[in-house]
Amino acid sequence: NAGVTQTPKFQVLKTGQSMTLQCAQDMNHEYMSWYRQDPGMGLRLIHYSVGAGITDQGEVPNGYNVSRSTTEDFPLRLLSAAPSQTSVYFCASSYTRWGPDGYTFGSGTRLTVV
């Protein structure tokens, strides 16, 4: 099925560990982005990409790295996990950076850092 696929769905990390959250889309969308959602809050933008090889920071980028080697994939790396990074992470994509088209979101990765 066309859409945004995120893996894993759940993850528990120890403080200081690193990991990569995977995101893949099969809709040929140029624009991809990562958000985090904390309890009772709206989503906040971490990083985004306007195309392969191009990434930039969003509102809350500290502690996270991204890369975009292909149009389809946009992994999010946690370099040294901290309890403050306990959150639900969503990947989203759209055809363009600006304009009317809607975003397609993945189902999320629930991360707990202990």
Partner 1 sequence: DAKTTQPNSMESNEEEPVHLPCNHSTISGTDYIHWYRQLPSQGPEYVIHGLTSNVNNRMASLAIAEDRKSSTLILHRATLRDAAVYYCILRAYSGGGADGLTFGKGTHLIIQP
Binders of partner 1 among 71-90, rule CB under 8 A?
90
Considering only residues 11, 60, 67, 105, which one is a binding residue for partner 1 as defined by CB under 8 A? 105
Which x/- pattern, by CB under 8 A, does the window 30-69 give for partner 1? ---x-x----xxxxxx--x-------x-xx----------
Q: Please tell me whether residue 97 binds partner 1 under the rule CB under 8 A.
A: yes
We find the least distance from the C-beta atom of residue 105 to partner 1, in angstroms, to be 3
- Can you tell me the distance from the alpha carbon of 114 to that of 102, in angstroms, rounded to the nearest whole number? 35
How many other C-beta atoms lie within 10 A of the C-beta of residue 50?
A: 16
**Nearer Cβ to partner 1 (45/82):** 45
Q: Which residue in 51, 49, 75, 54 sits closest to 64, CA to CA?
A: 75
